A = this chain, B = another copy of it.
Amino acid sequence: MLANTDYGTETEQSEQPGHEAAGPSRATPLRADDLARSLPGGMVRVFAAKEHIYREGDPATHVYRVEAGHVCIYRGLPDGRRQIVSFSYPGDFIALGAIRRHSASALAGAKTHMRSYPLAGLQEIARHDAALGLRLYAAVSEELAAAHDLLMTVTHRSAGERLAAFLLALSRRNSRCGENEREIVLPMTRTDIADFLGLTIETVSRTFTKFRIEGLIDLEQCILVTICDLAALEIAAGNGVSARERLELAS
């Protein structure tokens, strides 16, 4: 779950390349690949949709890499409320921060292929290979920055801002992966989005409709979002246009 989706809150975004944000998921292709290269090839296991890879509190035994499908990482409250902490896509590692026990649950959102690396072996390597330890450190540090960004977004932004930021984060992810930045596939359910953004499913639904009416997006099916007005969506996300960009627009 190497977080890397920036919500693009900062106006100086381009000047702070290292400042990534908590998004629905993020590829961090470089770092993740770094890490993958350090690791011996693990076993691939297939999980069915809605099958848990591990649960909060379980002893940590493996680190995983998503090969296909997608995974929700979440925390739960006894009364059923839950907070999705990140969505992980192919290439992302999950369960990295777990030392003894998993501090969150991992649930396959669809049929998902996971490559697993035994923790014991990992620690064995890290004891000799200092570079691996630093890579793990760097990977978790990025997740930490992502978590802080998500915290910022969820706490201080309105429902509309949150959803807009979420869509933009997915759009940027598409850009990075060389896909269409205006056609966003939402493999997760409305419930998942709500639990990620700290909203209810109704509010998510309502806000989608509001965006559609305002002409910001198109909703072909509930799974496919087309961004009609990227700039307006940026404004809806509360992302101030940077001073430089404003000058460029004005001139």
Contact = CB atoms under 8 A, between A and B. Distances in A.
A25 to B, nearest CB: 15
Nearest to A21: B103
B19 A151 contact: no
Given A78-B9, A155-B155, A123 B134 contact: yes
Contacts of A155: 83, 154-155, 198
Contacts of A16: 56-57, 101
B81 A141 contact: no
Given A103-B145, A133-B132, A141-B140, A156 B123 contact: no
A210 interface: no
Contact of A133 (B20, B75, B78, B130): B130
Interface in A116-150: 123, 126-134, 136-138, 140-145, 147-150
Given A103-B145, A137-B137, A240-B78, A156 B126 contact: no
A90 interface: no
Contacts of A152: 75, 77, 83
In this complex, the member of A15, A128, A156, A238 whose beta carbon has the largest number of chain B beta carbons within 10 angstroms is A156
A6 to B, nearest CB: 11
Contacts of A103: 18-20, 144-145, 148
A77 B141 contact: no
Contacts of A134: 123, 126-127, 133, 136
A134 B12 CA distance: 33
A50 interface: no
Contacts of A147: 144, 147-148, 151
A189 interface: no
Interface pairs A-B: 5 shortest CB-CB: A133-B133, A155-B198, A97-B141, A147-B147, A18-B101
Interface of A: 9-12, 15-16, 18-20, 56-57, 75, 77-79, 81-83, 85, 96-101, 103-104, 123, 126-134, 136-138, 140-145, 147-152, 154-156, 198, 238, 240
